[in-house]
Amino acid sequence: MHIGLIGLGKMGFSMRERLRRNGIQVTGFDRNPVVSDVGSLPDLVAELPPPRIVWIMVPSGETTAAVVSELAGLLDSGDLVIEGGNSHYTEDSRHAGMLAANGIRYLDCGVSGGIWGKDNGYGLMVGGDPADVAAAMPLFDALRPAGTRADSFVHAGATGAGHYAKMVHNGIEYGLMQAYAEGYELLESQDIVQDVPGILRAWQDGTVIRSWLLELAVRALEEDPGLARITGYVEDSGEGRWTVEEALSAGVPAPAITSAVFARFSSRQEDSPAMKLVAALRGQFGGHPVRSADPAGSEASGGHRSAAEQSIEDAGAPE
């Protein structure tokens, strides 16, 4: 199988490598010529055998809309577009309709796995027609963790369901990080506690709160004891806000997620150990920049990324 991949940032770059590693031929396009395989979108389309499959991993909003619009004029009837960024689910019906006018098929796909997905695999949540999902299954199989059950992939439902699922996923992520962060601050506040990283490490096996996020919290503290090198300023990608808006619209109580979103706002007014850990976690799993505690440096890169991977900020990254 040979596909096109548009957007080679934090997620797209790693996805291209994982797909190639698993036998998928990928031609990638990015505005950064250092990482791009071709010079333009028309060049990308010309490289692909029909019926073409093009996966989009660019920032949500106007950038995604512009790429979809251009593809609508470049692709042919029967081709398939997979939109894998963090778009709001309401945009999917508009994008699908724009492409359908020219006979082009459309899937939306929520992608989770962060900068570690290249090696560990990704969780995938897809919305769209079952026949189109079946046509793209070799891609989903190549991207998801190897040797696991089908639970790492879900056909979530109709158009928009994949991005809706990813939105809720990221809202939950907000709440989980906030709970770990508040527990960390409580531990740090007591003189009788002498090994906070050791406590978090001890929670990683056999306890009911063990998780990958907890492992990343331990990693962050090992790399920066006391989190002295960063501030507690935490950005939000928007998906936490969207989750809260959906909860309000549906009349579904979501106090933990809502509180976590507001805690992000509080982080921008004062520094706290809890919000330092949230900032550090975002750097660990998503490669998001963190604010340096050194007045001479406003930002420090989070996580572990190559120069190529840092070339562009794309919306496929986690929250």
Residues catalogued as catalytic: 166, 173
Is the previous residue joined to 50 through a cis bond, with omega within 30 degrees of 0?
A: no
Helix (H) / strand (E) element for 106: namely strand 105-112
Strand order in the sheet with 2-6: 25-29, 2-6, 53-56, 80-83, 105-112, 123-127, 153-157
Beta strands in 128-199 (DSSP E): 153-157
DSSP-assigned letters across all residues of 19-65: HHHTT-EEEEE-SSTTT-SSSSHHHHHHHSPSSPEEEE-S-TTHHHH
For strand 53-56 and strand 153-157, is the pairing parallel, antiparallel, or unpaired? unpaired
Ramachandran sector of residue 113 (left: φ over 0; alpha: ψ -120 to 50; beta: rest): left
**Cα radius of gyration rounded to whole Å, the chain:** 20
